[in-house]
A = this chain, B = another copy of it.
Amino acid sequence: MIAPHADALIGHVRANRERYVEELKAWMAVPSISAQPDHAADVRRSAEHAVARLRAAGFTQAEVLETDGNPVAYAAWLGAPGAPTILIYGHHDVQPADPLELWTSPPFEGTVRNGKLYGRGAVDDKGQCLMHIAALEAHLRVNGKLPLNVKVVFEGEEEIGSPSFEAFLAREKEKLACDVVVVSDTAVFAEDVPSLTTSLRGLVHWEITVHGPAADLHSGYYGGIVKNPLEALAQILAALKDAHGRVVVPGFYEGVRELSPQERADIAALPFDPAKIAHELGVTELGGEPSRMPLERAWFRPTLEVNGMYGGYQGAGQKTIIPSFARAKISARLVPHQDPHHVKHAVTTFVQRVAPRGVRLEVEAHGDTRAVETSRDHPAVAAAARAMELGFGKPPVFIGTGGTIGPVSSFDRILHLPQVLIGVGLPDDAIHAPNEKFDLSQFFGGIETMTYLYDELANALR
């Protein structure tokens, strides 16, 4: 059912598309990299930028809220007494931009090429936050009001695992009280395949430092009598999996469930061509456990990945040393029913156990994000499906994602709230990588989807 005033709203958001793109560029120009402490002031500037934009959209209540870490941009419009209240979640922090030399245009200067806006944060997640701001603004300008009460929370630490968000939620429980959480930080399955996400993986990570000699040593004098930390690190990392890509850490798979025949059939029905995907990614073939379907591996199997590794000489030419240390950053994506604490402990213990003699290990474990499964049967999810059909012209499919949104886990665990995961990124958006982009057709379709969404939710939750 289309709300009667929808035509005017859609006309409004279509007429303002160019402005939305310019506004997104302006926000992207703030390098709000939460992982890098020297960008802390930029993250704050980004929160202030969002608050100012929400005020301009018509939110009289809009403010920067402090957390134990980076600030949250918050706004509320509570002018619909008796109507339901939704909380819209997004994040205004971004991933680091390096390696800088691989960007075609500067990461913090949003640049449109072939109908796509390139730059860090274009789709993850400033662009998706702005879809809501644009849609909310349209309602407020065209109708002078929203069809339901809205609270907006744009977080500043999502890309580093939301370390302060749970405490923030617990503290601001009353201020953030709502009926449903709407999260727009996900992607659709493919272009022309509108999708709603109903499962997300969790995330924990480690930094492993292998300490060898007190200083770098000459590999001629000491080669053969001192254990090489780089060699030790390679041996430790190689010991984590068997030849079939299965993690051999005892207890790692504890709680992981097998899919039902129906779930397998649903996955098999999705359009997925491994050879085509491999070609697009630039690899010779897909990897991972060969006994399982690729989408099962990506959505419903935990991973253990090396995200970064370094030690010794990395410059031009050769420097014949045994280095004093080697370091790896590794992380695990968790699936429902895996306990983050248990996994952190299991991997830490295993790594210490398989470390060769002659080196000293330092292992730091971080993160605490459980996987989440949301209900497909909640009326808010049905409302979101209708809004997406109106916005993109096709009913959405239900999918999982291999990604992690820590706050979804926190809303689940702390506030026990139903959640709607409605995002419109594309799988090839290169989020977390050089040349991140947002297809403008997805951006504009997303704005229209959100424009419908508030009416649909108001009706469904009444």
Query: Chain A residues in contact with chain B, CB under 8 A?
Result: 34-37, 95-96, 98-99, 102, 160-161, 187, 201, 203, 205, 212-228, 230-231, 233-239, 241, 277, 281-289, 294, 297-298, 301, 303, 305-324, 326-329, 331, 333, 357-360, 366-367, 401-404, 427, 430-435
Contacts and interface: CB of A to CB of B under 8 A. Distances in A.
A35 B310 contact: no
A305 B102 CA distance: 30
Contacts of A327: 314
Contact of A319 (B307, B309, B311, B318): B307
Given A220-B333, A230-B307, 20 more contacts: A34-B317, A102-B215, A160-B318, A161-B318, A212-B282, A213-B281, A216-B433, A218-B403, A219-B307, A220-B401, A220-B403, A223-B303, A225-B297, A227-B288, A231-B306, A235-B237, A238-B239, A283-B359, A309-B310, A318-B329
A214 to B, nearest CB: 3
A433 to B, nearest CB: 4
A124 to B, nearest CB: 9
Contacts of A401: 220-221
A328 B358 CA distance: 21
28 contacts: A36-B317, A99-B216, A203-B320, A205-B318, A215-B434, A216-B433, A217-B432, A219-B303, A220-B402, A220-B403, A221-B401, A222-B402, A223-B333, A230-B307, A230-B309, A230-B328, A231-B241, A231-B305, A233-B234, A235-B237, A282-B324, A305-B322, A307-B320, A308-B323, A310-B310, A310-B314, A318-B331, A318-B367
A435 B286 contact: no
Contacts of A402: 220-224
A314 B306 contact: no
Nearest to A37: B316
A63 to B, nearest CB: 27
Given A233-B234, A306-B312, A319-B95, A287 B220 contact: no
B233 A283 contact: no
A96 B287 contact: no
A80 to B, nearest CB: 36
A132 to B, nearest CB: 22
B311 A309 contact: yes
Nearest to A289: B224
B308 A314 contact: yes
B315 A319 contact: no
B331 A219 contact: yes
Q: Which of A303, A313, A431 has the most CB of B within 10 A?
A: A313
Given A216-B433, A284-B357, A403-B221, A311 B308 contact: yes
A308 B319 contact: yes
A8 B23 CA distance: 84
Contact of A237 (B234, B287, B404): B234
Contacts of A212: 282-283
Contacts of A225: 277, 286-288, 294, 297-298
Contact of A358 (B231, B283, B315, B433): B283
B217 A281 contact: yes
A357 B305 CA distance: 16
A347 to B, nearest CB: 14
B315 A98 contact: yes
Closest A-B pairs by Cβ, 8 of them: A214-B282, A227-B287, A220-B403, A308-B312, A35-B317, A238-B238, A224-B297, A234-B237
Contact of A430 (B201, B215, B301, B403): B215
Nearest to A232: B287
A161 B220 CA distance: 13
B36 A315 contact: yes
